Amino acid sequence: NAGVTQTPKFRVLKTGQSMTLLCAQDMNHEYMYWYRQDPGMGLRLIHYSVGEGTTAKGEVPDGYNVSRLKKQNFLLGLESAAPSQTSVYFCASSYRGRNQPQHFGDGTRLSIL
């Protein structure tokens, strides 16, 4: 049982390059989330999705786009990477409901040079 799988685990980009982070979950969860973790700031919500075909902005959405074409996948895109986007990115998923614990992937460490 894989849970939440993030691909890739590490990536180094140059400023201005684009890339997509993939999140896949096999728990049939309705809700999915993308967070970024920066030192001293905890985790901050970038975008989230409450179902296939739906997405919404979180606390820090600028510079990112997302898509959820299939229930099990949630993609995070950086169209033109900037050094300020250097961070560790976590994907999470949960069952429907505000009281449901979120299950996290192992994270993607992204460096923008």
Partner 1 sequence: AQKVTQAQTEISVVEKEDVTLDCVYETRDTTYYLFWYKQPPSGELVFLIRRNSFDEQNEISGRYSWNFQKSTSSFNFTITASQVVDSAVYFCALSEGNAGGTSYGKLTFGQGTILTVHP
- Tell me which of 7, 8, 26, 50 binds partner 1, using CB under 8 A: 50
Give me the least distance between CB of 101 and partner 1, in Å please.
4
In terms of CB distance, is 6 or 85 closer to partner 1? 6
Joined together, the tokens standing for residue 92 give 């999470």
Q: How far is the CB of 20 from partner 1 (least distance, A)?
A: 21
CB of 69 to partner 1, least distance (A): 19
* Binding segment toward partner 1, per CB under 8 A, in 20-28, 60-68, 71-79, 86-94: 86-94
| HEC letters along the chain | CCCEEEECCEEEECCCCCEEEEEEECCCCCEEEEEEECCCCCEEEEEEECCCCCCEECCCCCCEEEECCCCCEEEEEECCCCHHHCEEEEEEEECCCCCCCCEECCCEEEEEC
Q: Which is nearer to partner 1, 11 or 103 (CB)?
A: 103
26-45 residues in contact with partner 1 (CB under 8 A) are: 31, 33, 35, 40-45
